[in-house]
Amino acid sequence: MYQKVNTDMNFVGREKEIEKFWKDNDIFNKSMEHRKDGKTYTFYDGPPTANGKPHIGHVLTRVIKDMIPRYRTMKGYYVPRKAGWDTHGLPVELEVEKELGLDGKEQIEKYGLEPFIKKCKESVWKYKGMWEDFSDTVGFWADMDHPYVTYEDDYIESEWWALKQIWDKNLLYKGFKIVPYCPRCGTPLSSHEVAQGYRAVKERSAIAKFKIKDEDAYILAWTTTPWTLPSNVALCVNPEETYVKVKTADGFTYYLAKALAEKVLGGDQPSAPYEILEEYKGSELEYKEYEPLFECAAAEAEKQKKKAFYVVCDGYVTMEDGTGVVHQAPAFGEDDARVGRKYDMPLVQFVNDKGEMTEETPFAGKFVKDADPEVLKDLDKRGQLF
């Protein structure tokens, strides 16, 4: 029979009493000792960074991560739980940059890497006590007295050891991956870090005219990143969609998606401003060749001895925006890189670690977003901007 719970009970007070009972009687360690002969259940907890205060989101993750080891312990498993501190990463460096009044990688290097690292090691423990109190308050059980610390040599050496095991099994390979990058910090970013600073912005989009090889016609391709056009190596269409070859009233011949032709070519003219000459399934256009938009890309493709400047097919191309044809620069987009690997395209990369266009291009030294209007002016002057 259950007794009725008194509604006047002080729940917070009772929690404090239980917390004190656990601490005074070393209950966590006793729970481990009682299960030491049981089968081991290993639980890996991604550690927090102690240079930031715990918040309500940490309550949820701490509680959920605590429930699983407790449940497994109740099932008879031995569940060692070692607390840890993540002492690497951009959040720590940004905090110290603010403290020292620095801005970016160059200023950090001028200040000195050793003193900067020392400051980071000091900063990382800023809220350690608050994190420990917070963990006790929510009833999180872990060995907080002997934590692993990611900047300590034994932890770093264990990572190198693990990497060596993977290498010995021939499971490592060298390749390219598209990741968010911050030219100010001079480092790749995690998707989590990018999400923290996410905001909606307006981008300059454009339709470029790609001259078809041995034909007096152009493929119209859309982009929201004109600065990537000097690195163009292919054009992508959807293999299942319908594409048309049209002749416009001003005498030009273009290829684009049928579903978007009126939107792109229609304008405000009452009569049809174009005539459809032929229709194709996207897959029929595969491997159709065109002339390079920029000579720098052609030179780099030749240097890598890889075929480029032809139409490829992939289902990621939609009929919602643009022309139904997407320009491909495998060095600057996840879909582009995936399709680039599929067709073994050259990887053409004309941007340095400061986010500036390299000397191979006509826009050397310009930050990529500042290069956008310059690229469009250049194309317009050459008659290749639609």
The reply to whether 134 and 238 lie within a common domain is no
The model's pLDDT over 192-202, given as tens digits with 9 standing for 90+, comes to 767 766 778 88
The reply to whether 227 and 372 lie within a common domain is yes
The reply to whether 304 and 210 lie within a common domain is yes
**What phi and psi, each to the nearest 5 degrees, are found at residue 256?**
-165, 175
| Domain presence at residue 366 | yes
Tell me what the mean pLDDT of segment 37-60 comes to: 88
What local confidence, expressed as pLDDT, does residue 261 receive?
93
The model's pLDDT over 333-370, given as tens digits with 9 standing for 90+, comes to 999 999 999 999 999 999 999 999 999 999 999 999 99
- 268 pLDDT higher than 70: no
Distance CA(175)–CA(258), nearest Å, equals: 37
Tell me what the mean pLDDT of segment 224-232 comes to: 95
- 269 pLDDT higher than 70: no
What local confidence, expressed as pLDDT, does residue 153 receive?
93
| Domain presence at residue 201 | no
What local confidence, expressed as pLDDT, does residue 35 receive?
93
| Domain presence at residue 112 | no
The CATH code of the domain that includes 295 is 3.90.740.10
| Domain presence at residue 187 | no
Closest by CA to 141, choosing from 27, 53, 15, 20, is 27
The CATH code of the domain that includes 39 is 3.40.50.620
Domain count of the fold of the chain: 2
| Domain presence at residue 136 | yes
What local confidence, expressed as pLDDT, does residue 116 receive?
95
Tell me what the mean pLDDT of segment 205-224 comes to: 94
Lowest pLDDT segment from 82-91, 148-157, 292-301: 82-91
What local confidence, expressed as pLDDT, does residue 267 receive?
57
The model's pLDDT over 78-134, given as tens digits with 9 standing for 90+, comes to 999 989 998 888 888 888 999 999 988 889 999 999 999 999 998 888 888 999 999
What local confidence, expressed as pLDDT, does residue 12 receive?
87
Q: Which domain holds residue 373?
A: 206-381
| Domain presence at residue 169 | no
| Domain presence at residue 73 | yes
Lowest pLDDT segment from 141-145, 307-311, 315-319: 141-145
Which of 364-373's residues contact partners 24+ apart within 8 Å by CB, and which partners?
367/183, 368/227, 369/227, 371/226, 371/227, 372/204, 372/225, 372/226, 372/227, 373/204, 373/226
At residue 272 the predicted structure's pLDDT band, cuts being 50, 70 and 90, is low
Tell me what the mean pLDDT of segment 260-286 comes to: 84
Tell me what the mean pLDDT of segment 133-141 comes to: 91
